[in-house]
Structure 1
């Protein structure tokens, strides 16, 4: 895959320098070369969709890609089902259902109803198979949720899912079509922990530049060897009220015709975090809300509903867009005090860590005068003083007892948290204002580490180790989001040296996570996803040309050109390892001539939710 990407960069660079459009042949070569990913066939490139009739509710919306149709744990029976295949000629789907008191129904196909509608008779079993001359190329997998049993194992190609003659009703179903030879889906409930690591603002060139500076090699990170390696689209629905959202949608057929296109109406971090945490696109600035301003359920709330622990940590303010997007619900990311109070006072989150300390400035020096605005990132003066006093919390685990936050601030306290016994809930606010390091004084354009770092704050990997030590007290498992937030700030500032500093800090935190998995958990129960939320700065090797940054050897800054001070809509890297990580492969039905296979940012949470009970 790496060779394909590099050839794509070179071809595209030549085309843009000559003012040419990419030819059809170049697109065809890229698509054909990317037919497999590390030996695993790509996802079925058609669309398999399905809908169910639920008792007393009626027909549900059409679902696809292993989304649940029906319900689970709600005691509502399925009464009918429709399934259809599109986008691939000579391929269809046939299915039959076992109906209460009636037995097996005749086979039907391509969108016809099987079962009943309005007769009050439950579905008890289902068989599904592909037909047509192209059926030999694919497997259709399906999994059902059975009354009092839960999710059963995945079956395929006409096998029975559910029961026959045992009077158990079906309550939900998931379906996916995969190319022959693909890894089968992992059973629901197979994941214990999920750790999502977001390098805010990091695209392919930001990662490459850091690797070149630190090692002189293109692939230097442990996560670059993860078994799943893809790219991800990040576009949003732009600012609320805009009439045409399509201007920002990533379209590989047109995106490479003009170097400027990737600058069109990019996402912001709030919309990107909301997409990743809820599975729903929204407008820029929205946190946990859809385009109509309605609250969305985020992945932390999904984990909390299953009595799992949750946490968010970042190298910037904890009420900033990315961590807030996994916890809070607010129409505007700018309402920091409101957001902080929801995170602290209302959420069930167990660990929150990030900057925003009102008592210190960006150099980690204590303030001589504190204004009301300095408390903004932590929810106001009253909230902060209550945290300091250890008198603020809520009933986070629904046991009828208030669980107060334990506030830590000093570097020593963060380091102490990495080992030994821990409090039940921890909020960590280091002794610095906006960022751990990026906003410190000195030449922001200097090479890495020329400007002495703040010495009184923890590194992101120390914060990560401490968060893991708290969260793993929950035997049911946990979800943790770790953000390298100031990589984005470096992109906005076109500050290559501080970009490298921030990306190194993030990479160290990934290493800490992988070490924790191998020492305290296992890759069979913990899934780790490493990605970004968007690219910032439009970093390339040559101004006005989409090519790679140029390696000048270890310890030397690579040759690099910033083409923007804002976000872009280019595809960004994604890496994954652990149980169910192949679900991201199944979702990767996008194919780009330069980047290869890609998913959309809304599909991360879809994969994770398919692994929960």
Structure 2
């Protein structure tokens, strides 16, 4: 049955017919994932033994593009906090704002509306759970850097007497187990199950709220995680614990694509993209079995100005990113104290380091310079370019499948994504 939903879009009153409105909404943010990342991943995942470049799950789900700028008082380039607030509330704000408008007043998020409607709510992220994006959906604060305050608000703030989040999965020991306050104990006393080893997630009982923290800040890089693919584990667990007759709203964030972009680390970036791709493949199957579910994926912004090809060479060679036995950051940690840097570097990188490449490794005297040297070697071998260590203002791709996904086709602003989700939530 079609339902008419009226919403305000770009200053115009529009009436749209929503058919098959979703019971469950899964919003995914690939933090920092601009269009160059999904293109690079297609080449990274390509089967070189075939003449064609195979499509990926991103290609199958692509429906449009979105602009990302914050309120124009802060220019054309957003940070993750303002980006998350736009995606969660439909409100443009200043960089650094968590769920508040330009006047620092709280704005309702789609996750909060879902909770008011009686749906279960959750977050599953690879950053700390009180980082900019999950906080932008679940909290309100004038600054993203008030990490302790944001963590406290997850316990202290309630919606009609209920905790905002039923499931919280990600990192954050530093902020939830502090000298001044142990939020883990408080959540346990309030009836939450707590787990700090991802290997034991399958043993957690369904039916009780869940807090899982798996790192001091973020969880380990995908390249360093012992199970390799941790976002699919977090997503599957969250969905299993959120499923109920009234439906749920889940925010998933592939947080560390952005961290790799800031570090200009293409190897880590492709591993994080693969982690997200596996999550999407599982969600494709989930939607087939649960057609009343909507999955929407986009990015808050692009990070690093990733370019496929550099220095005027018309080629990109992702092979150099595939043989690593750990993240470039961890390789740097192991190389720095080593007296056999050449041998160890070749072993950990998966290829023999040249004399020219060895020079930058030998002269590196801090973790930062060593990490940069490793990333530069991989950049040169893969012919990868970067324009910045920060964010860029390019439009980002939008992906959607499931009930209501047709409403996200075409070009939109990031605030439109939130407005359409509000409409879908209210239509059911």
1:32-71 deviations in Å (ceiling 9; x for gaps): xxxxxxxxxxxxxxxxxxxxxxxxxxxxxxxxx94169xx
1:355 CA displacement: 0.7
2:143 is the counterpart of 1:356 = no
Higher helix fraction (1 or 2): 2
1:98-130 deviations in Å (ceiling 9; x for gaps): xxxxxxxxxxxxxxxxxxxxxxxxxxxxxxxxx
2:55 is the counterpart of 1:210 = no
Gaps of 5+ in 2: 158-162, 324-380
Contact in 1 for aligned 2:310/2:383 (Cα 8 Å):
no
2:172 is the counterpart of 1:324 = no
Of the three residues 385, 398, 402, the one matched with 1:561 is 385
State the match for 2:335 in structure 1: none
Contact in 1 for aligned 2:305/2:386 (Cα 8 Å):
yes
Deviates more, 1:476-485 or 1:501-510: 501-510
2:415 is the counterpart of 1:602 = yes
Of the three residues 240, 244, 252, the one matched with 1:469 is 240
Distance 1:544 1:175, change over 3 A: farther
State the match for 2:306 in structure 1: 539
Contact in 1 for aligned 2:261/2:304 (Cα 8 Å):
yes
2:199 is the counterpart of 1:416 = no
Of the three residues 221, 228, 240, the one matched with 2:56 is 221
Of the three residues 400, 407, 417, the one matched with 1:576 is 400
Higher strand fraction (1 or 2): 1
1:304 CA displacement: 1.0
Distance 1:549 1:196, change over 3 A: farther
State the match for 1:278 in structure 2: 89
State the SS of the aligned residue for 2:99: coil
1:204 CA displacement: 1.2
Of the three residues 292, 298, 304, the one matched with 2:115 is 304
Distance in 1 between residues matched to 2:137 and 2:103, nearest whole Å? 19
1:296 CA displacement: 0.3
State the match for 1:40 in structure 2: none
Distance in 1 between residues matched to 2:193 and 2:181, nearest whole Å? 13
Of the three residues 537, 550, 569, the one matched with 2:316 is 550
1:256-305 deviations in Å (ceiling 9; x for gaps): xxxxxxxxxx2100000000000001000000000011100001111011
Distance 1:387 1:456, change over 3 A: farther
State the match for 1:344 in structure 2: 155
Distance 1:185 1:339, change over 3 A: same
Distance in 2 between residues matched to 1:477 and 1:233, nearest whole Å? 29
State the match for 1:526 in structure 2: 293
State the SS of the aligned residue for 1:229: strand
Of the three residues 274, 277, 292, the one matched with 1:507 is 277
Q: TM-score, normalised by structure 2?
A: 0.75
Distance in 1 between residues matched to 2:260 and 2:232, nearest whole Å? 19
Alignment of 1:17-166 (within 5 A): 66-67=6-7
1:383 CA displacement: 4.1
Distance in 2 between residues matched to 1:197 and 1:573, nearest whole Å? 12
State the match for 1:232 in structure 2: 66
Distance in 2 between residues matched to 1:326 and 1:207, nearest whole Å? 24
Distance in 1 between residues matched to 2:66 and 2:56, nearest whole Å? 19
Distance 1:292 1:389, change over 3 A: closer
State the SS of the aligned residue for 2:404: coil
Contact in 2 for aligned 1:208/1:549 (Cα 8 Å):
no
Distance in 2 between residues matched to 1:267 and 1:415, nearest whole Å? 37
Distance in 2 between residues matched to 1:471 and 1:527, nearest whole Å? 14
Contact in 2 for aligned 1:422/1:470 (Cα 8 Å):
yes
Distance in 2 between residues matched to 1:344 and 1:532, nearest whole Å? 28
Distance in 2 between residues matched to 1:487 and 1:301, nearest whole Å? 26
Distance in 1 between residues matched to 2:309 and 2:273, nearest whole Å? 21
Distance in 2 between residues matched to 1:315 and 1:502, nearest whole Å? 10
1:337 CA displacement: 0.5
Distance in 1 between residues matched to 2:305 and 2:284, nearest whole Å? 30
Of the three residues 190, 200, 212, the one matched with 1:428 is 212
Distance in 2 between residues matched to 1:518 and 1:303, nearest whole Å? 23
1:559 CA displacement: 2.9
Distance 1:391 1:540, change over 3 A: closer
Gaps of 5+ in 1: 1-64, 70-83, 86-173, 177-183, 239-243, 249-265, 358-374, 394-403, 439-447, 589-597
Distance in 1 between residues matched to 2:422 and 2:101, nearest whole Å? 19
